[in-house]
Chains A and B, each alone.
Chain A
């Protein structure tokens, strides 16, 4: 048995979609014309990051492509989450170098202490945020991969310029 259906007879001015659509489009139009707000066309347009943004690491290299790291062991010591693995060794010139240098970016909390402690300005955090990977293992960056990164390095906080201007 069909139930009773209450039929509401609203006036045409209220029932029409035109009014709602116009209202919605006017908001859209307002945002289109508003100079302060805009939708970012990611990934065609990239987000502009602050110079002190702390993202995935980058290792600085010498002109000949060798990593600047001297394997002093200060970054694994200072790292609060133990995400840096370092095995120092002696190279063919008798210099100390990092035979193994791995940073687990998944574990990293991007505190930047490794960059701050580095005596030779080798390891840096990067102004970088695109890090999607298909596997967890890929998040462990080895030395080669850290050297290959070409994004900007993070600027350290300057005590003389507290607001970074």
Chain B
């Protein structure tokens, strides 16, 4: 491909909207206006960068680490602001460029404390990486290093001034993407440091992103401080469950606990960012006492049972009831596969009323990325639940009387319902990650895995179906609801099969549910795909409502 591109660079007349250039001997055609650093990335060359970030529109070209040599130009040029031009010949790693880069790194290290052993960025630090690459591993400095200490730029973000290389990514993210002027560079030269503007606090619902874009360990989130080394963590590609936006995130776990969340790039959903509410929500979703063992109704009380025993018992009861009707309550935090398999069971039982409720909260918008908002709903998969035939109702309607038949609750917390709720149903099955007080009269309580503990898909506000991968092991005997329900179905119907992977469950859903018609698990890809039955966009145009409560829960 490189050779082919190279010939087009020299022979074929370029299309009017593209330019062809050669980078490190490889020809590449890029749209007009592309910077050399981005053009280089297309050829697989990653030019070192600190101040350049693809998600931040401003390019101050101040870190000087992306300097490249361009043939015919007297000096090195910063590749982040250098626009690719036709016929340009760029050397990103020539001796001149490497020497300049080494000098830049050496200057950055003049006052850098080199406290890598206790720095949370060690292992994923761009200063560490480039210092290693440039090969200047011995300091030539005799003078003592300047010590500046540490500060708190926001109530949950610490700033280690000594480690900072003043790339100003954080300042520019707040100013140019989040439209917030409270973060500034104070002082100049070697005394420069990042601070909040005098009299202002950094208090923005998207401020957590400045920690993610910090190329060194200068900005550290307090929740992650000294928690884990970069190489100790196991990453899982997941979806934030905080709101219907469905931001793509990476869940970093260590010893089966979530230690950190990082937004994952998806240009169609969240770009490079996510909100602070989502970060907190995901971590909080793992707290508390979980339901870990299947329970079935014994003589009087619930008794523990093995999965096979519980499902056999339940299948017997359901067979005896036949097509009894009733109603189902689902949670908008459940995955599409969970909801689909519940739907299959409900069809068999003659239950045609499926409802869910979603709590709402304050919204927040990121001005630089119009699609990325903290939306009002506080659940990830409301759209998916509606696409699979569930009806959205208020909490009051949900907790109303049931009136006979089967009552199946899938992971709804049943807030506000008392402990006698559900006793009027002939058979009350509670599948959930936790066991609320209101499930006390349930005939069977089946522990399920939450989204972080299984594979699956969510449909976001615009009907984009996105995959998430398992990050944690489920507690105790808890298993994904689709897995449990498919086994219950297999007991009721010989033609049904027990399902073991989310992929099988999804592909079956895509074959049978109209809203997901024609989709495939592998076809979803890393960026997700809009479902055919996606709801017509209900997103109101114009700026989002002002942020109340800073978008954080309980603060």
A binding-site residues for B, Cβ under 8 Å: 70-74, 77, 88-90, 94-96, 119-120
B434 to chain A, nearest CB (A): 28
Interface code B49-91, partner A: CB below 8 Å = 1, 0 otherwise? 0000000000000000000000000000000000000000000
Stretch at the interface among B223-231, B239-247, B289-297, B308-316: B223-231
Residue contact A72 to B118, C-beta cutoff 8 Å: yes
A77 and B232 CA atoms in complex are apart in Å by: 8
Residue contact A90 to B117, C-beta cutoff 8 Å: no
Cβ contacts under 8 Å, B229 to chain A: 72-73, 77
A70 and B232 CA atoms in complex are apart in Å by: 17
A30 and B192 CA atoms in complex are apart in Å by: 81
Complex partner residue of A71 from B116, B118, B150, CB under 8 angstroms? B118
A73 and B123 CA atoms in complex are apart in Å by: 12
Residue contact B226 to A90, C-beta cutoff 8 Å: yes
Cβ contacts under 8 Å, B150 to chain A: 94
Cβ contacts under 8 Å, A73 to chain B: 229, 232
Residue contact A77 to B231, C-beta cutoff 8 Å: yes
Sample (5) of A-B pairs whose CB atoms are under 8 Å apart:
A72-B116, A72-B117, A77-B229, A119-B116, A119-B117
Instruction: Beyond A72-B229, A89-B226, list 10 extra A-B contacts (CB 8 Å).
Output: A70-B117, A72-B118, A72-B122, A77-B231, A88-B226, A90-B226, A94-B150, A95-B118, A96-B118, A96-B226
Cβ contacts under 8 Å, A70 to chain B: 117-118
A66 and B116 CA atoms in complex are apart in Å by: 21
Cβ contacts under 8 Å, A96 to chain B: 118, 226
A114 to chain B, nearest CB (A): 13
A90 and B118 CA atoms in complex are apart in Å by: 11
A71 and B118 CA atoms in complex are apart in Å by: 7
A71 and B225 CA atoms in complex are apart in Å by: 12
B residues 472-499 in Cβ contact with A at 8 Å? none
A77 and B118 CA atoms in complex are apart in Å by: 14
Residue contact B225 to A90, C-beta cutoff 8 Å: yes
Residue contact A74 to B117, C-beta cutoff 8 Å: yes
B158 to chain A, nearest CB (A): 9
Interface centre among B116, B118, B232 (most CB of A within 10 A): B118
Interface centre among A71, A73, A94, A95 (most CB of B within 10 A): A73
Give how many B residues have a beta carbon under 8 Å from the other chain's beta carbons: 11
A75 to chain B, nearest CB (A): 11
A27 and B227 CA atoms in complex are apart in Å by: 66
Interface code B505-526, partner A: CB below 8 Å = 1, 0 otherwise? 0000000000000000000000
B171 to chain A, nearest CB (A): 24
A93 to chain B, nearest CB (A): 11
B123 to chain A, nearest CB (A): 10
Cβ contacts under 8 Å, A77 to chain B: 229, 231-232
A74 to chain B, nearest CB (A): 7
Interface centre among A70, A72, A120 (most CB of B within 10 A): A72
A132 to chain B, nearest CB (A): 33
Cβ contacts under 8 Å, B226 to chain A: 71, 88-90, 96
Select from chain A the residue with minimum beta-carbon distance to B122.
A72
A19 to chain B, nearest CB (A): 72
Cβ contacts under 8 Å, B227 to chain A: 88
Cβ contacts under 8 Å, B118 to chain A: 70-72, 95-96
A88 and B232 CA atoms in complex are apart in Å by: 13
Select from chain B the residue with minimum beta-carbon distance to A89.
B226
A119 and B119 CA atoms in complex are apart in Å by: 13
Select from chain B the residue with minimum beta-carbon distance to A72.
B117
Select from chain B the residue with minimum beta-carbon distance to A70.
B118
A70 and B115 CA atoms in complex are apart in Å by: 10
Cβ contacts under 8 Å, A71 to chain B: 118, 226
Select from chain A the residue with minimum beta-carbon distance to B255.
A87
Select from chain B the residue with minimum beta-carbon distance to A97.
B226
A70 to chain B, nearest CB (A): 5
Cβ contacts under 8 Å, B225 to chain A: 90
Interface code B420-431, partner A: CB below 8 Å = 1, 0 otherwise? 000000000000
A21 and B511 CA atoms in complex are apart in Å by: 98
B153 to chain A, nearest CB (A): 15
B421 to chain A, nearest CB (A): 43
A162 and B116 CA atoms in complex are apart in Å by: 30
Which A-B residue pairs are the 5 nearest by beta carbons?
A72-B117, A96-B118, A119-B117, A73-B229, A88-B226
A119 and B229 CA atoms in complex are apart in Å by: 15
Residue contact B117 to A120, C-beta cutoff 8 Å: yes
Interface centre among B122, B225, B226 (most CB of A within 10 A): B226
A88 and B227 CA atoms in complex are apart in Å by: 7
A52 to chain B, nearest CB (A): 25
A88 and B225 CA atoms in complex are apart in Å by: 9
Interface code B437-476, partner A: CB below 8 Å = 1, 0 otherwise? 0000000000000000000000000000000000000000
A1 to chain B, nearest CB (A): 75
B161 to chain A, nearest CB (A): 14
A37 and B226 CA atoms in complex are apart in Å by: 56
B341 to chain A, nearest CB (A): 40
A82 and B410 CA atoms in complex are apart in Å by: 42
Cβ contacts under 8 Å, B232 to chain A: 73, 77
A88 and B231 CA atoms in complex are apart in Å by: 15
A23 and B417 CA atoms in complex are apart in Å by: 99
A74 and B232 CA atoms in complex are apart in Å by: 11
Select from chain A the residue with minimum beta-carbon distance to B229.
A73
A119 and B225 CA atoms in complex are apart in Å by: 20
A71 and B226 CA atoms in complex are apart in Å by: 9
Cβ contacts under 8 Å, A88 to chain B: 226-227
A120 and B118 CA atoms in complex are apart in Å by: 11
A89 and B232 CA atoms in complex are apart in Å by: 15
Interface centre among B117, B122, B227 (most CB of A within 10 A): B117
Select from chain B the residue with minimum beta-carbon distance to A118.
B117
A70 and B150 CA atoms in complex are apart in Å by: 17
Cβ contacts under 8 Å, A74 to chain B: 117
